[in-house]
Structure 1
Amino acid sequence: MNLDPIIFRPIGVIWSPFNDPVGMPIQPGGARGVRGEVEVDPAFAGGLVDLHEFSRIILLYAFHRSEGYRLRVVPFLDTCEHGVFATRAPRRPNPIGLSVVRLVGVDDCRLLIEDVDILDGTPLLDIKPYVSSFDAFPDEKTGWFGRTRQEIHEVRSDCRFADAGPLGDEDSWEA
């Protein structure tokens, strides 16, 4: 299979109180009340019309400090190894993150947000409104997440994804 690369242009920057990935919340559920801001490039201001009508938004962003990846990882919420696509680990073949945050306010090209689990200065790729009838499926299977014993509110990031180390053949795009 030959797939051409895709290039994304950031539409803004996410600002948060987290300058270091170690010790930060690993999901918005563990970051309740943590405030941040989204600064959208003025070229995209027209896209923010009516966004204030939503209480939550989905932010898609680049894990800009993530280097390399492994196809099997031990995620923050478990002690067992899983395929990277069965986790939300930041070191991925395409380091794209997703967070559902509370939208507190919109002021021109600035969005005030809460429940922020994102590093300061993170490039923003896209914003989508969170719509519970589209985006929430509470009765669906959640794989190994349903078996974890740790609480999302207590778990913090550590250094396990900070250093990519050498990539093996199985982890290379060329393999």
Structure 2
Amino acid sequence: MPIIDIHHPRQTPPNGLLASLCAAVTELLEIPKDHCWAMWHPVAQGNYWRPGWQDVPANDLAGPLVRIRCKSSYSEAQAKALIQLVSNELARGLECPSDSNFIVLDRVEAGQLLARGNIWPGNEKGAVPITLTPVAFVRNDRADLSDDFWGDVVSELELNTSVVPSHSLEGLEGFSHAEVVFSFHRVAGKPLSLNLRSPRGLAHLPPIGVLSQRVKDRPNWLGVSRCEILARNGTSLTVRGLDAIDGSPVLDIKPWMDAFGPRQKTIEPSWVSEVMQDYYGVARPSGEGVGTSRSLGMLRRFFGTLPFRWPAYSKEDVEILLRTPHIL
């Protein structure tokens, strides 16, 4: 699985097209190389009616009609990425416009597939669909997806009272901090690359897996953050330092209790301090040095792309550079 049926007036596919298509699909879905099949179905003259195939020279034929069958355990994001990949591979191999391809995807449910002598039970790799409904929404002035300067961001968490009672926040004001689980809704559902990558794309840092860093482009697109509680007002909780943009769906809110923190000394790689040095920084709102903190972070990341390791300059040196326009 998946099974890909391709219908086209050409009697045979270009050499190597089906093999390369299956290789690309198995890499995308991260499944064994023999778990994808592709079949070419030539359609004889007179046995079809499709604009783009009628009375057209062989070199100008429109794209194929394609039917993909795959397991229902694949996510919506995987299904969309699969359709797009198949379209791109066929457009390249057949030298036809990708917008002339017609592709339909059918999902096979549990109990409807016999493979390798067994009926597929539908729980492959423990993949059980989960439906989550937001209990609140984030309201703040932060709309951009940039990484840094969350320290002074004040947010209102407005309860979704159609899901939880209006008194659900009562008592939370007795805690100094809360733990918030939210959705990276602006990127959720988009195709993912789960290949090894360096934190923040900095070439001098080691490539690591997606579950070894806190990027937003991750399976399930969930964020977990601890923030300071400033006030509770009925169905709204005011917090500071929550790294979620305006409109983010909140899936859960919990009071932070020290007893739930690590019970042993924590250890982390040395690169963490580099990528986090401005994360909870505070951008200066006005006066001399406007934007200095934000510019400093940008400059640090620029130096991070160079062959030498930051800091090549001290923080104080960079502050002087930023305040002296004729130097930069």
Pair member with larger Rg: 2
Q: Which of the residues 191, 214, 227 maps onto 1:68?
A: 191
In the alignment, is residue 128 of structure 1 matched against residue 247 of structure 2? Answer: no
The answer for the alignment partner of 1:14 in structure 2 is 138
Distance 2:252 2:151 in 1: 22
Question: 2 CA distance for matches of 1:60 and 1:135?
Answer: 16
What is aligned with 1:118?
Answer: 244
Kindly indicate whether residue 269 of structure 2 is the aligned counterpart of residue 150 of structure 1.
no
In 2, Cα distance between equivalents of 1:138 and 1:87: 21
Q: Secondary structure at the match of 1:61?
A: strand
Residue 107 (structure 1) aligned to one of 227, 233, 245: 233
The yes-or-no answer on 1:52 pairing with 2:182 is no
Alpha-carbon shift at residue 77 of structure 1 (Å): 8.5
Larger RCO: 1 or 2 (CA < 8 Å, sep 6+): 1
The alignment partner of 2:168 has SS state of helix
* Conservation of the 8 A alpha-carbon contact between 1:60 and 1:98: yes
**8 Å contact from structure 1 (residues 73, 83) kept in 2:** yes
Extract unaligned runs of 5+ from structure 1.
Answer: 159-175
Show the counterpart of 2:161: 42
CA drift of 1:135 comes to 1.9
Deviations 1:61-93 (A, max 9, x none): 011012232222322385332100011010111
Whichever structure has more helix as a proportion of its residues is 2
- Asked whether the 8 Å contact 2:199–2:275 carries over to 1, the reply is no
Distance in 2 separating the partners of 1:114 and 1:149: 21
Structure 1 moving runs of 4+ over 6 Å = none
Q: Could you report, residue by residue, the CA deviation over 1:82-111 in whole angstroms, capped at 9, with x for unpaired residues? A: 100011010111100011010100001111
Sort the Cα spacing of 1:39 and 1:139 in 2 relative to 1 into closer, same or farther, 3 A: same
CA pair 98-112 structure 1, distance change in 2 beyond 3 A: same
C-alpha contact 2:178 2:255 (8 A) present in aligned 1: yes
Q: Taking every aligned residue pair, what percent have the same amino acid on both sides?
A: 24
Q: Do the aligned partners of residues 135 and 42 (structure 1) sit closer, same or farther apart at CA in structure 2, a change above 3 Å counting?
A: same
Give matches, 1:20-39, under 5 Å.
20-22=144-146, 24-25=147-148, 30-39=149-158
- Is 1:85 aligned to residue 211 of structure 2? yes
CA shift, 1:117, in A, is 1.6
Quote the Cα distance in structure 1 between the aligned partners of 2:201 and 2:225: 17
For 1:1-47, what per-residue CA distance to the aligned partner results, in whole angstroms no more than 9, with x for missing partners?
3421101001110122211103x42xxxx522321111111242232
8 Å Cα contact 2:229-2:237 kept in structure 1: yes
Larger deviation, residues 70-79 vs 90-99: 70-79
Structure 2, unmatched stretches of 5+, are 1-124, 280-293, 299-328
Structure 2 SS opposite 1:150 = helix
Give the root-mean-square deviation of aligned CA atoms: 2.4
Structure 2 length-normalised TM: 0.42
C-alpha spacing 1:55/1:138, structure 2 compared with 1 (3 Å): farther
* Normalised TM-score (structure 1): 0.75
